Amino acid sequence: MAWLFDVDYLDYVWNFLHKFTRIHRPHYTTDEDNWGHIPARGHVPMTGYHLIITSIVFIVGMFKSALLYANLQTEATTAECVFGAFVAAGCVAN
DSSP 26-88: PP---SPPTTSS--TT------HHHHHHHHHHHHHHHHHHHHHHTT-HHHHHHHHHHHHHHHH
Neighbours of 43 (CB within 10 A): 13
Instruction: Please report, rounded to a whole number, the percentage of residues in the chain having pLDDT higher than 70.
Output: 71
Distance CA 92, CA 94 (A): 5
Contacts of 80 (CB under 8 A, 6+ apart): 60, 64
Domain around 25: 3-32+45-93
Mean pLDDT of 12-41: 72
**66-92 per-position pLDDT tens digit:** 988 999 989 888 888 888 787 777 766
Residue 38 lies in a domain: no
Residue 40 lies in a domain: no
Residue 87 lies in a domain: yes
Number of separate domains in the chain: 1
